[in-house]
Amino acid sequence: MRAGEIHALLGENGAGKSTLVKQVYGVLQPDAGSIFWEGREVTIRDPHAARRLGIGMVFQHFSLFEAMTVAENIALGLEERPDRRRLAERIRGVSRDYGLALEPDRTVDDLSVGERQRIEIVRCLLQSPRLLIMDEPTSVLTPQETSRLFDTLRTLADQGCSILYISHKLEEIRTLCERATILRGGRVVASCDPRRESARGLAEAMIGTKLRDVTRPGAGQRAAARPRLQVERLSLAAEEPHGTPLREVSFEAREGEILGIAGVAGNGQGELLAALAGERPADSADSIRIDGRAVGRLSPDRRRRLGLCTLPEERNGEAAVGEMTLWENAILTAYHRRSLVGRGLLRRGAAETFAAQVIERFDVRTAGPGAAAGSLSGGNLQKFVVGREILQRPEVLVIAQPTWGIDAAAAKLIQQALVDLAAQGSAVVVISQDLDELLELSDRLAVMNVGRLSPARPTRDYSQEAIGLLMGGIHGDPAAASPTVA
């Protein structure tokens, strides 16, 4: 990498990107070879050594202590011992300058995935790095915020900071990066100027084959289809002081359709998913209905038995338990719908068979059903937990960030599976910050901002810019904005 260069590192899930950059940052030690930094060979024994050299990294999977505050986590990533009051002021200043809203005194355990990612970015920016490694930094940003971050990165590059940028959003790569190195199977297979390539061409270079498009059946009579999930005036108080309460959220998801819900992280999406899943009961049973049956006060297990499957955005620790095998993780949510428990006993053979079906159907790169979930790359674990829910054939599926942090081929596979599930008569609700994905997948679209949901309208009525404005909120009220025809 050259000084002041913005360089992309591309590859499908499991290609070795994270393994490589963890060696540069000192998290892993190489078995062979050399690393040269500013003309001299170096041994980067740990992240402290990397930071002393001027290397900073924003991880895709966060390196944060959940019981500590934002400021305390940031302090742990700095080499000097900062004054707490001055650090809080610096955090607010960087957050304000770069459009990455953070409150220094909040506890990480109370934050959404998107807000946790902001901590990683701000922590790196406070170090004034000479090499900044960024792994999927824009997965939770609006188009406007992404544009502002890119302006910041270009400014840093103009000041001599080198940026190694990892993203599966290939249009971002084409917009931002001047060179790209492509990995496949742990080896460098190509390098190019991404500005001269198409996004499709980059994707096909990553996977070594042609990229399949998502094929959709005709819209049919979706407008007249019966609602399978109905939410009416759902309100829910925040569980903690800085949380986002839900404010009279209403929508319906119909048989055979995909309903998209857009929004910047921290605007109530997590609270909505918890309410729909049954993790937090609603005040009124009638506020949530599945196929006409009131379920707002039922447990998650009862809702699953009635046909509602849900998948949270955080795959590590919420959607899957890293220390457990894949077949054990299959049992966690599918024990009833796939008959993986009988007479109080686990049916290991049935669970292994089901896990193997998920592995094969969703091309999960792993040693088999007995592999620990924590041994999988982030993208392969995502494919497994998504497949686990889809293969239960739910009547209603509510899924958050279905393709977060996965390569183009895997994203197409998951998106096709969601389209196929809807085509079979299920109602699918996709909660995502990926606007390209929502525009491609959803039949109707609503936007969440400060705990309120805008009315769902046909996706074709929206442009990406209009959705971004609604995500940012107009005076905190998404309903105050009208869609712009694309």
**What's 333's DSSP letter?**
H
Which pLDDT value is given to residue 475? 32
Read off the amino acid at residue 299.
S
Q: What pLDDT was estimated at residue 77?
A: 79
Q: How many helices (H) and strands (E) does the chain have?
A: 16, 21
Is the CB of residue 428 less than 8 Å from the CB of residue 258? yes
Q: Per-residue pLDDT averaged across 57-62, rounded?
A: 78
| Residues of the chain above pLDDT 70, percent | 93
Helix (H, G, I), strand (E, B) or coil at 207: helix
pLDDT of 406 strictly over 50: yes
Residue pointed to by tokens 């009124």 = 284
pLDDT given for residue 84 in this prediction:
85
State the average pLDDT over residues 240-248.
83
Query: pLDDT value at position 390?
Result: 97
At 71-80, the pLDDT tens digits run 999 998 787 8
Specify the 3-state DSSP secondary structure of 289.
strand
Are the CB atoms for 252 and 222 separated by under 8 Å?
no
Residue 482 has pLDDT above 50, yes or no: no
Question: Would you say the pTM of this structure is higher than 0.85?
Answer: no
d(CA 417, CA 55): 40
Least confident segment among 232-246, 297-311, 319-333, 350-364: 232-246
- Dig out the tokens for 377 from the structure: 């790359």
Digit-coded pLDDT (tens) for 337-360: 999 999 889 999 999 999 999 999
Per-residue pLDDT reduced to its tens digit, 163-208: 999 998 899 999 999 999 999 989 999 999 999 999 999 999 998 8
| Residue range 227-480 in CATH 3.40.50.300 | yes
Q: How confident is the model at residue 316 (pLDDT cuts 50, 70, 90)?
A: confident
Q: CB–CB of 184/20 below 8 Å?
A: no
Average per-residue pLDDT for the chain: 89
What's the pLDDT tens digit per position in 426-479? Answer: 999 999 988 888 998 999 999 999 899 999 999 998 887 788 778 766 433 444
pLDDT of residue 258: 97
Measured from the Cβ of residue 295, the count of other Cβ atoms closer than 10 Å reads 23
Note the pLDDT of residue 478. 40
Query: What was the pLDDT predicted at 244?
Result: 87
Averaged pLDDT for residues 412-433: 95
- Whether the pLDDT of residue 401 is over 60: the answer is yes
CATH of domain 6-207: 3.40.50.300
Burial 244-255 (b: 16+ CB within 10 A, else e): bebeebebbbbb
For the chain, how big is the Rg over CA atoms in Å? Answer: 22
Domain boundaries, the chain: 6-207, 227-480
Q: Which stretches of 127-280 are DSSP H helices?
A: 143-158, 170-176, 199-207, 269-277
Least confident of 19-28, 140-149, 237-246: 140-149
Binned at pLDDT 50, 70 and 90, residue 296 comes out as: very high
Instruction: Determine the Cα angle at 430 with ends 424 and 433, to 5°.
Output: 155
Q: Strands, E, within 53-186: which ranges?
A: 55-58, 131-135, 162-166, 179-184
